[in-house]
Amino acid sequence: MAERNEEKVHLKVPGETLYLNLVRKVIVDLAEKMGFPEEEVAKIEMAVDEACTNVIEHSYIEAKDIELKGGYFSRREDDVERPIDLRVKVDSHKIELTMTDRGKGFDMKNYEVPKLDEYLASMPIGGLGVYVIKEFMDEVDYTHKPGVGNILVMTKYLKKK
């Protein structure tokens, strides 16, 4: 693969589950074009999906939101905007995804990985999003900036054959 100059893509979508398919398609297309193997593309896709889902379900969804057919959620028209802002930088060596949201903060530094054997024995729905993100991406950094919001940076390096 020839050296690739840095390219940037900016995607801003409402923080609603209806838009997750669009986000996944964009990310998968970029990762495939970069030359990531199919398994790595799937990991990147899942990490981004989990990050977006966590924002929507734990930071944005409120009791007054409307549940639509198929488990999708939508905010009421009079609510404040709740976007997911995704900035993607790609070059010959890596894909870097920076996701910003205006939801409630999360203490990722003190997140404890669940004991997988106990987790699987109880079979709860959800609860592995942060684990998946950290496990599937090469670098993960989370910060909360007052007035800006939550910033999650996920990086995956393209391993040369």
Q: pLDDT tens digits, residue range 95-147?
A: 999 999 987 776 666 656 655 565 455 544 555 678 889 999 999 999 988 88
| Number of domains the chain contains | 1
**Residue 144: inside a domain, yes or no?**
yes
Of residues 112 and 149, which shows the higher confidence score? 149
**Residue 13: inside a domain, yes or no?**
yes
* Average pLDDT of the chain to the nearest whole number: 81
DSSP 80: P
Residue 1 has pLDDT above 60, yes or no: no
**Residue 47: inside a domain, yes or no?**
yes
**Residue 55: inside a domain, yes or no?**
yes
- Can you give the CATH number for the domain in which 147 is found? 3.30.565.10
**Residue 1: inside a domain, yes or no?**
no
**Residue 73: inside a domain, yes or no?**
yes
Residue 55 has pLDDT above 50, yes or no: yes
First vs last Cα of the chain: how many Å apart?
10
pTM score of the predicted model: 0.77
* Three-class SS of 82-128: CEEEEEEEECCCEEEEEEEECCCCCCCCCCCCCCHHHHHHHCCCCCC
Domain containing 25: what range?
7-157
Q: pLDDT tens digits, residue range 2-45?
A: 566 888 999 999 888 889 999 999 999 999 999 999 999 999 99
**Residue 35: inside a domain, yes or no?**
yes
- What's the rounded Cα separation, in Å, for the pair 27 and 90? 11
The whole-number pLDDT of residue 17 equals 83
CA distance to 10, 31, 37, 51, 64, per residue, from 16 (Å): 17, 23, 29, 13, 14
**Residue 2: inside a domain, yes or no?**
no
